[in-house]
Structure 1
Amino acid sequence: MNRAGCTLLMGCLLSIAPLLGHAESNSLLIPATSRCVLDTRPEDLEQALAQCRSLAETGDSQAQYELGEYFYAASRHPQDLPQALHWYEQASLQGHAEAQLRLGTLFWRGEGVPANKVQAYVVLKMAAVNGAEEAMDSADLVAEEMSREQLEQANRVLGEIFRNYLQELQASDMRSPFAPLP
């Protein structure tokens, strides 16, 4: 494994944290109130969109992702890539793995944004760290299309992201980031 791979693997291992959210007493349940449902009857869609937008604007990353999916898919309305990108970005900034996967793919393909393999690779690697299963494979495909310089640049960015993460972790509880999780 090369140095960049070791760095990424270490970052991945360090970012695994215990589940923080609980729904009642079952940590596997997602409370229904934190989700928006846009797959609804046409006559209910306007109200569902308003409710979802309200949740998204208060920072609900799942609602932001759902809005991104709604505006990206053109099944019941014209596709709106600027809106889709906006909501994917908002959810991605909060570590939403599926939004990061979608955003990285958009950067890779140049959908709604200029194609940028470095940015696509970085976002896809973050999606993989956050749990998007197909993101690592997608990042590998992007890497095959990148020059050596682009790959080095992307790995420098990832290294900086993980260094900052470790520093924040260390500062938050004054413990080593390598200490066992509670």
Structure 2
Amino acid sequence: MNRTVRPLLLGCLLLASSLPALAGGNSLLVPANARCVLDLEPPALPDALRLCEQAALGGDLQAAFELGEFYHDGRRAPRDLAKALKWFEQASLHGHALAQHRLGVMFFRGEGVPASNVQAYIVLKMAAVNGDESALDTADRVSTQMRRDELEIATQVLGQVFRNYLLDLQVAD
């Protein structure tokens, strides 16, 4: 296994193994129900960011997503792709579909990370499974840019993720 595939496989398997603990054991249905308010005027923004970070660190997936959006868009503060990546990854690892979609696009474009069609495709497919329908279209666009060997690797990793998920469902029954 080459150096690129091993971390990718380990990361995807980590993703698959962390999901069943959420949503009553149904790893593919993880709701996001809290929200940070980060569209405030500059004097109030530091406190709002602090509260949002506390919520995200406490497991609020929507808060982590909102922080990722805040740092990615660069409209209310300087764009910080490293922080955006951190928060999108945190929410993504727990099944937040929109965060997975944003993360997949970051991998595709090489925003804050080395560009990787394989990682982009895998994360986008997971986003689609988790409920972001537009992620499926984005994954299809990514697949048109992939070599055959890249698509085979991505398909193998996704197959393993879903096999693990089905095994978890069988064990839960």
Same fold (TM over 0.5): yes
**Counterpart residue number, 1:166:** 166
> Would you identify which runs of 4 or more consecutive aligned residues in structure 1 move more than 2 Å?
14-17
TM-superposed CA distance for 1:172, in Å, is 1.7
Taking only the aligned residue pairs, the percentage that are identical comes to 56
Query: For residues 78 and 20 of structure 1, do their structure 2 counterparts lie closer, same or farther at Cα, with a shift above 3 Å needed?
Result: closer
- Root mean square deviation, CA, Å: 1.8
Q: May I ask how many residue pairs the two structures share in their alignment?
A: 148
Letter in 1 for 2:41: R
CA distance in 2, matches of 1:20, 1:135: 17
Letter in 2 for 1:148: R
Q: What is the TM-score normalised by the length of structure 1?
A: 0.77
- What SS does the corresponding residue of 1:42 show, helix, strand or coil? coil
**Unpaired stretches in structure 1, ≥5 consecutive residues:** 1-13, 22-29, 174-182
**Counterpart residue number, 1:37:** 37
- What SS does the corresponding residue of 2:43 show, helix, strand or coil? helix
- What SS does the corresponding residue of 2:83 show, helix, strand or coil? helix
Q: What is the TM-score normalised by the length of structure 2?
A: 0.81
CA distance in 2, matches of 1:123, 1:117: 10
**Counterpart residue number, 1:120:** 120
Asked whether the 8 Å contact 2:124–2:135 carries over to 1, the reply is: yes
Query: For residues 147 and 81 of structure 1, do their structure 2 counterparts lie closer, same or farther at Cα, with a shift above 3 Å needed?
Result: same
Asked whether the 8 Å contact 2:31–2:96 carries over to 1, the reply is: no
- What SS does the corresponding residue of 1:134 show, helix, strand or coil? helix
CA distance in 1, matches of 2:143, 2:101: 15
Asked whether the 8 Å contact 1:121–1:142 carries over to 2, the reply is: yes
Alignment of 1:1-182 (within 5 A): 30=33, 34-173=34-173
TM-superposed CA distance for 1:76, in Å, is 2.0
Q: Which has the higher contact order (CA 8 A, sep 6+)?
A: 2
TM-superposed CA distance for 1:41, in Å, is 2.1
**Unpaired stretches in structure 2, ≥5 consecutive residues:** 1-25
Asked whether the 8 Å contact 1:36–1:52 carries over to 2, the reply is: yes
TM-superposed CA distance for 1:20, in Å, is 7.2
